[in-house]
Amino acid sequence: MLFTVNKSPYLHSNLETCLRVAPDGAPLVLYEDGVYAAVAGTRVEGLVLRALAQHPVYAVEADLKARGIERLIEGVRVIDYAGFVELVEQHPVVPWL
């Protein structure tokens, strides 16, 4: 199962609840405002670091660039739209909107 999160982790609890139910090893894609979770040094960094211990975590390049995000938490993998599509093809998608 591929989990996708597109909401800011500061105003919404999507990421938190998603990680509560996502089984070990399930990949997580952060896109749109969800990419703010991938920024290093924020108050959700601990949550993302714990997630990284159990899941591959991806962030979409176009959304990172649009928001001027450069400093990512180590371990978060940057993907382009083609990479996103590839993941979607490989897994059943659970959109955690």
Nearest-approach distance from CB 70 to other proteins, in angstroms: 7
Whether 55 contacts 28, CB under 8 Å = yes
Helix (H, G, I), strand (E, B) or coil at 14: helix
Interface pattern 40-69 for other proteins (x via CB under 8 A) = ---------------------xxx-xxxx-
Residue 73 binds other proteins, judged by CB under 8 A: no
Nearest-approach distance from CB 83 to other proteins, in angstroms: 13
Of 1 and 95, which has the nearer Cβ to other proteins? 95
Q: Strands 2-5 and 57-60: what pairing? A: unpaired
Question: For residue 35, what are its two tokens?
Answer: 């990419």
